[in-house]
Amino acid sequence: MRVLKSSITKKAVRSVKKITRSTAMVMYRKQLSRFHKNKAGNNIIITQRNVVIGTDDTWFNAQEIDRNPAWVQVPDASYVWSSRDLGAEVAVVSKQFTLSSRRRVRNASLLLSVDNYAIVLINGRFVVYDTPQATVSFFNPGRTFDVRRFLRRGQNDIVIIAFNFGGRRTIDNPAGVAARLSIRQS
């Protein structure tokens, strides 16, 4: 009984350990190299002034999932999880897009709804770096971040590392992430 108890405690501690920034960077680079190897062909080129990029099946390693009734509806974005393993504790999804070299980014925001927490990088820089937690406001109503300074003309990438708090994604412990980038250019 004592052994069982201690192993459960160890497991719980392991599953909520915060990952370091360098580990996150390794995951970021691995995701991009996987994307390039797969030539996933989801690099979209944006020439219009206003653009909205929401998570869906076209994101690399993303599979659309049903929205949990507790999660906020995110217009122009679907909830996704890892297409490699829908039961995974961690989902890494990404998108590449190219902004016109003739326009300037005037405003850019990221709306993020995640069950439960996330690390988000744009062009290799940390936009969101959550500590392990299960906070309701993270998926309802979600959070908005100003990301203008992270974007640049030409090619950009966004990588979302989403975590389920407490282990694998199950019916009893759902997980999902929906994100929407809204960019206004000159």
Q: Give the footprint of Ca ion on this chain (CB under 5 A).
A: 115-116, 164, 173, 175
Minimum distance between the CB of residue 43 and Ca ion, rounded to whole angstroms? 31
CB of 22 or CB of 172, closer to Ca ion:
172
How is residue 143 written in tokens? 């959070």
Q: What single string gives the DSSP state of each residue in 30-65?
A: HHHHHHHHHT----EEE-SSEEEEE-STTSBTEEE-
Minimum distance between the CB of residue 23 and Ca ion, rounded to whole angstroms? 21
CB of 54 or CB of 176, closer to Ca ion:
176
Q: Could you tell me if 42 and 94 are in contact, meaning their C-beta atoms sit under 8 angstroms apart?
A: no
Minimum distance between the CB of residue 10 and Ca ion, rounded to whole angstroms? 21
CB of 115 or CB of 130, closer to Ca ion:
115
CA distance 136 to 120: 18
Q: Strands across the sheet with 90-99, in order?
A: 44-46, 90-99, 154-163, 117-122, 125-129
CB of 99 or CB of 175, closer to Ca ion:
175
Minimum distance between the CB of residue 14 and Ca ion, rounded to whole angstroms? 17
